[in-house]
């Protein structure tokens, strides 16, 4: 990569050393198991988390977030192997994710604006290699291992690197991906404001002549027909939904035509469906090769697409086999069998469209995880209960067939019929009923109870972390939507033609010529789509926040670059309600003069307004020490007033600037995005105990803090008494000295006389 394209010198980062250093620090910091809530507690935050974040942030190395996530992935891997350190490794993995989240948020706080967004993008989507910066002997040793075949493949394709976003998805770092800083980058990538060339696992039609660095995209300076906009995640998602609707329509047409004719005759509609579905399946295969099976299966509807691909491949093989058979009767049987198999795809295709339109619904979010648990438990149950079937078969050979025994056991398993129990005496008068009844207890009662409990726990866990699950799926959809393979620019069924023509052509021409031919073909085939994309993005992308008085305005508070007013005719219609004025107060951007007035009135000294009421309430309830005493001032009332008010004001300004520069990042969760002019209520008391660092309002901590303040008051009284005693001793000493001086003077006078 040219040096000008690498603005933040990511290629110079010593990734190998950073990974090992972070691993050492994490292991030294955590020796006991902790939960995530305990890691976020004030004590752990002050003693462990914040020092790690501060030390890593001082290095200003953009690869540290990637290194933290790599260490999290390794600790999760070691969790299953090292049983004696299982919970400790899980805690270390949680700490890696927590530190990575806070470090990314620190970068976000210190780098606002578009350049800050670009820096965050270089942290998340810039490619790093784990052995980057490693000694030559380590690199040679890793490449010489026969099990590391991927290393040899990387030697042929040096552009293949991993990103922090990909490692976070693979390691299921849902809290990290749900953070506001990470979602800011994800949203910008999803809308196409940030562009980059991702690294792919395997490319079907590679076109590496031009590699786009991580940059901000301006549609008004870009060419009108920009073929790279076809792989923007938002555009790609819309195109994929349209492609699936076409596929579903062709499938329904084929099945309806078969039902009306009741013959396996090959028609034009079926031919169009076969060609289009083949291109659609090719697109799915290319998606798996692009980012790997691990990322592909993180998508909600991936198991539906994989199931349909298997069904369609089986149907197509049998259908083509029927054409090769000369016997008409046998060919008809094979053709009907293939169509029967294709009809089984309806339970997969029909609900798949709902996954696209309702991808953030809790039912669909939990259905994937629950389906995985159900299939796993069912496979284990079939494996374990197969012994009952073999025992019954061997108990009386020839009494009943294996298919019949299996059918009876399935009916008992789901509680449908008890025929197997009635017929069990045919196997043995005693052992047959015993085996069947034992299977009924284990298979029906115990298995279903375990299954319901496990699915309930899975659903409850997903509902409890609903926000993280939704944002995690958004990140997966965004990362998977960015493509680098040239085959994704060809829509089905043109991708089949591109595979047949462009792939052999790449071997005959140079890379530069192949790039020109590829760009020309993509622009010609997608001309209407590219024109619509260019027209839409030039009107909406990176629009300013200027108001248009003649149009209704709505504030988009979820905008990654801050609140902005957007035109919304639908919102204008909804204002014609009985409570439209209430909504208008919050939906219309207030004038800056009003916000400045509120901010000016809010800049009050301590002891007035809301702050006075709150502190009076706290003092009455917990008997807090006055602020002057808590500020560790002198007990002497004459020394409480500052001599130089100007110096105190400068000190306060310097403290305020330091606090703004090094903001407190100890919050357990990200601060929500507030509208412009929002001002958080200031604390009236100085933070000098754990209760001031805890916003949960724990009663025990509040009671302990109140007792600490009472102890401070008692100590203050003791100090006052000591001062008074010292003053009395000093006064008594001075009086004694004066008396002795008077006696000496009288003695001298008498002597003189």
| 152-167: pLDDT as tens digits | 444 434 446 889 999 9
First to last CA, the chain: 110
Whether pLDDT at 678 is above 70: no
pLDDT at 239 (0 to 100) = 92
pLDDT score of 168 more than 90: yes
451 and 587 co-located in one domain: no
- In this model, does residue 464 exceed pLDDT 90? no
Domain that holds residue 145: 10-196
Q: Which of 150-159, 192-201, 455-464 has the lowest mean pLDDT?
A: 150-159
Contact (CB, 8 A) for 243 and 278 = no
Nearest to 426 by CA among 447, 396, 450: 396
pLDDT tier at 604, thresholds 50, 70, 90: low
Residue 272 above 60 pLDDT? yes
Using a pLDDT cut of 90, give the percent of the chain over it. Answer: 27
Same domain (yes/no): 584, 730: no
Query: 210-219, 257-266, 611-620 — which is least confidently predicted?
Result: 611-620
Domain-embedded: residue 649: no
> 582 lies in a domain?
yes
Q: How many CB atoms lie within 10 A of CB 660?
A: 8
Q: What burial letters (b/e) apply to 672-694, b meaning 16+ CB within 10 Å?
A: eeeeeeeeeeeebbeeebbbebb
Q: What is the share, in percent, of the chain residues with pLDDT greater than 70?
A: 73
Dist. CA 32–CA 39, nearest whole Å: 11
pLDDT reported for residue 380? 85
User: What would the mean pLDDT of 225-247 be, rounded to a whole number?
Assistant: 91
**Is the pLDDT confidence value at 354 over 90?**
no
Give the pLDDT band (50/70/90) at residue 151: very low
Minimum mean pLDDT range among 379-383, 494-498, 728-732 = 728-732
In angstroms, the CA 233 to CA 236 distance is 5
* pLDDT band (50, 70, 90) for residue 246: very high
Do 580 and 696 belong to one domain? no
Indicate whether 492 belongs to any domain: no
- 100 vs 576: CA distance, rounded Å: 47
Task: Compute φ and ψ for 115, nearest 5 degrees.
Answer: -70, -35
Residue 375 pLDDT: 86
> Among 147, 169, 196, which residue terminates a domain?
196
196, 125 contact by CB (below 8 A): yes
Asked whether residue 629 carries a pLDDT value surpassing 50, the answer given is no
> Rounded CA gap, 447 and 388, in Å?
15
Quick one: which H or E segment has residue 626? none
Reported as a single tens digit per residue, the pLDDT across 105-133 is 999 999 888 889 999 999 999 888 888 88
Average pLDDT (41-51) is 91
pLDDT band of 57, cuts 50, 70, 90: very high
Alpha-carbon gap, residue 620 to 633, rounded angstroms: 22
- 148 and 104 in a single domain? The answer is yes
| CA–centroid distance for 313 within its chain | 34
What confidence tens digit (pLDDT) does each residue in 281-325 have? 999 999 988 888 877 887 778 888 999 999 999 999 999 999 888
137 shares a domain with 183: yes
For residue 670, give the DSSP letter. P
User: Which of 17-21, 367-371, 687-691 is predicted least confidently?
Assistant: 687-691
Q: What is the pLDDT of residue 652?
A: 53
pLDDT band of residue 663 (cuts 50, 70, 90) is very low
Average pLDDT, the chain: 77
Q: What is the Cα–Cα distance from 409 to 648, expressed in whole angstroms?
A: 85
How high is the pLDDT of residue 210? 77
Residues 621 and 731 in one domain: yes
47 & 182 share domain = yes
pLDDT of residue 102: 95
Q: Does 129 share its domain with 179?
A: yes
Q: Show which of 437, 464, 491 is a domain's final residue.
A: 464
Could you read off the pLDDT of 74-105 as tens digits, one per residue? Answer: 999 888 776 655 688 999 999 999 999 999 99
> pLDDT-derived band of residue 606, with 50, 70 and 90 as boundaries?
very low
Could you tell me the pLDDT band of residue 601, with boundaries at 50, 70 and 90?
confident
Residue 526 domain flag: no
Q: Would residue 166 count as lying in a domain?
A: yes
pLDDT at 700: 62
Least confident among 114-128, 553-567, 664-678: 664-678
CA distance 200 to 198: 6
What average pLDDT score do residues 493-509 get? Answer: 91
In this predicted structure, the answer to whether residue 674 has a pLDDT above a threshold of 50 is no
- The total domain count for the chain is 4
pLDDT, mean of residues 323-340: 89
At residue 446, the pLDDT reads 83
More confident residue, 137 or 58: 58
pLDDT recorded at residue 494: 93
Q: If you average pLDDT over residues 187-205, what whole number do you get?
A: 86
State the residue for tokens 């083949």.
278
pLDDT above 60: residue 339? yes
Does one domain contain both 41 and 113? yes
Domain-ending residue, one of 600, 634, 667:
600
Most confident range, picked from 478-482, 524-528, 636-640, 674-678: 524-528
Q: Is the pLDDT of residue 23 over 90?
A: yes
CA distance 452 to 450: 6
Tell me which of 30 and 396 has the higher pLDDT: 30
Burial 488-513 (b: 16+ CB within 10 A, else e): bbbbbbbbbebbeebeeebeeeeeee
Is residue 424 predicted with pLDDT exceeding 80?
A: yes
Task: Write down the pTM of the prediction.
Answer: 0.68
d(CA 441, CA 446): 6
Q: What is the pLDDT of residue 728?
A: 67
Residue 291 lies in a domain: no
Average pLDDT estimate for 445-469: 86
CB 522 within 8 A of CB 230: yes
User: Would you place residue 656 in the very low, low, confident or very high pLDDT band (cuts 50, 70, 90)?
Assistant: low
Q: Are residues 370 and 409 in the same domain?
A: yes
| Residue 307 counted as domain residue | no
Q: What is the pLDDT of residue 112?
A: 86
**Which residues lie closer than 8 Å to 138 by C-beta, 6 or more apart?**
16, 131
Contacts of 488 (CB under 8 A, 6+ apart): 230, 231, 236, 283, 286, 290, 495
Do both 93 and 159 map to the same domain? yes
Does residue 695 surpass a pLDDT of 70?
Answer: no
Residue 644 has pLDDT above 50, yes or no: no
- Please enumerate in sequence order all residues whose Cβ is within 8 A of that of 152, keeping only pairs 6 or more positions apart, or say none: 143
Residue 724 resides in a domain: yes
Q: What are phi and psi of 556, to 5 degrees?
A: -95, 95
pLDDT at 545: 40
Of 298 and 280, which is predicted with more confidence? 280
pLDDT at residue 727 tops 80: no
What is the band of 481 on the pLDDT scale with cuts at 50, 70, 90?
Answer: confident
Q: Do residues 78 and 169 share a domain?
A: yes
Residue 286 CA to residue 305 CA, distance in Å, equals 13
**Which pLDDT band, with edges at 50, 70 and 90, does 588 fall under?**
confident
Q: Which of 554-558, 581-585, 633-637 has the highest mean pLDDT?
A: 581-585
């Amino acid at each position: 990569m040219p040096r000008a394209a690498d603005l933040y010198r990511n290629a110079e980062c010593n990734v190998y050393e950073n990974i090992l250093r972070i691993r050492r620090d994490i292991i030294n910091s955590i020796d006991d198991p902790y939960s995530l809530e305990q890691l976020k507690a004030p004590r752990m935050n002050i003693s462990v988390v914040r020092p790690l974040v501060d030390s890593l942030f001082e290095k200003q190395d953009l690869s540290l977030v990637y290194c933290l996530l790599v260490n999290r992935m390794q600790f999760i891997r070691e969790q299953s192997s090292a049983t004696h350190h299982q919970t400790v490794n899980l805690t270390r993995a949680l700490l890696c994710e927590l530190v990575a989240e806070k470090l990314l948020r620190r970068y976000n706080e210190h780098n606002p604006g578009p350049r800050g967004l670009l820096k965050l993008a270089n942290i998340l989507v810039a490619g790093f290699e784990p052995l980057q910066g490693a000694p030559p002997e380590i690199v040679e040793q890793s490449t010489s291992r026969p099990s590391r075949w991927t290393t040899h493949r990387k030697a042929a394709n040096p552009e293949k690197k991993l990103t922090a976003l990909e490692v976070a998805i693979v390691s299921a770092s849902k809290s990290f991906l749900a953070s506001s800083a990470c979602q800011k980058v994800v949203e910008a990538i999803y809308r196409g404001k940030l562009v980059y060339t991702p690294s792919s696992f395997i490319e079907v039609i590679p076109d590496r002549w031009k590699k786009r660095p991580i940059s901000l995209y301006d549609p008004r300076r870009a060419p009108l027909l920009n073929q790279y906009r076809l792989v923007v995640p938002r555009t790609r998602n819309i195109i994929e939904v349209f492609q699936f609707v076409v596929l579903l329509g062709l499938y329904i047409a084929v099945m309806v035509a078969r039902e009306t004719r009741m013959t396996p005759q090959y028609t034009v509609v079926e031919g169009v469906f076969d060609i289009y579905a083949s291109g659609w399946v090719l697109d799915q295969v290319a998606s798996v090769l692009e980012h790997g099976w691990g990322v592909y299966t993180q998508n909600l509807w991936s198991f539906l697409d994989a199931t349909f691909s298997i069904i369609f491949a089986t149907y197509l093989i049998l259908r083509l086999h029927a054409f090769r058979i000369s016997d008409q009767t046998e060919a008809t049987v094979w053709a009907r069998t293939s169509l029967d198999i294709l009809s089984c795809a309806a339970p997969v295709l029909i609900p798949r469209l709902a996954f696209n339109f309702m991808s953030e619904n809790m039912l669909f979010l939990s259905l994937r995880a629950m389906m995985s648990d159900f299939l796993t438990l069912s496979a284990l149950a079939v494996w374990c209960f197969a012994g009952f079937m073999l025992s019954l078969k061997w108990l009386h050979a020839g009494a009943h067939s294996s298919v019949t025994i299996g059918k009876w056991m399935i009916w008992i398993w789901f509680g449908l019929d008890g025929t197997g129990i009635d017929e069990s005496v045919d196997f043995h008068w005693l052992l047959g009923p015993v085996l069947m009844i034992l299977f009924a207890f284990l298979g029906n009662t115990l298995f279903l109870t375990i299954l319901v409990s496990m699915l309930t726990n899975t659903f409850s866990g997903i509902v409890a972390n609903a926000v993280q699950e939704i944002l995690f799926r958004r990140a997966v959809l965004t990362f998977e939507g960015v493509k680098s393979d040239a085959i994704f620019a060809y829509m089905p069924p043109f991708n089949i033609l591109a595979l047949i023509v462009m792939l052999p052509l790449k071997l005959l021409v140079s890379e530069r010529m192949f790039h020109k031919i590829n760009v020309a073909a993509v622009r010609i085939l997608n001309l209407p789509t590219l024109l619509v994309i260019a027209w839409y993005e030039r009107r909406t992308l990176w629009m300013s926040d200027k108001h248009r008085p003649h149009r209704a305005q709505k504030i988009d508070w979820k905008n990654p670059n801050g609140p902005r007013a957007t035109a919304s005719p639908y919102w204008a219609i909804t204002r014609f309600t009985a409570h439209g004025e209430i909504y208008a107060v919050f939906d219309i951007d207030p004038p800056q003069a009003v916000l400045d007035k509120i901010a000016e009135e809010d800049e009050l000294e301590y002891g007035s307004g809301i702050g006075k009421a709150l502190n009076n309430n706290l003092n009455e309830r917990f008997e807090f020490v006055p602020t002057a005493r808590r500020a560790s001032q002198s007990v002497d009332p004459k020394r409480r007033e500052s001599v130089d008010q100007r110096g105190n004001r400068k000190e306060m300004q310097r403290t305020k600037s330091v606090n703004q520069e090094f903001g407190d990042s100890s919050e357990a969760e990200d601060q929500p995005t507030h509208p412009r002019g929002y001002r958080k209520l200031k604390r009236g008391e100085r933070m000098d105990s754990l209760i001031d660092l805890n916003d949960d309002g724990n009663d025990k901590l509040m009671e302990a803090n109140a007792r600490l303040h009472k102890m401070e008051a008692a100590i203050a009284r003791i100090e006052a008494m000591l001062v008074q005693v010292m003053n009395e001793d000093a006064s008594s000493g001075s009086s004694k000295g004066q008396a002795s001086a008077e006696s000496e003077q009288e003695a001298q006078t008498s002597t003189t006389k």
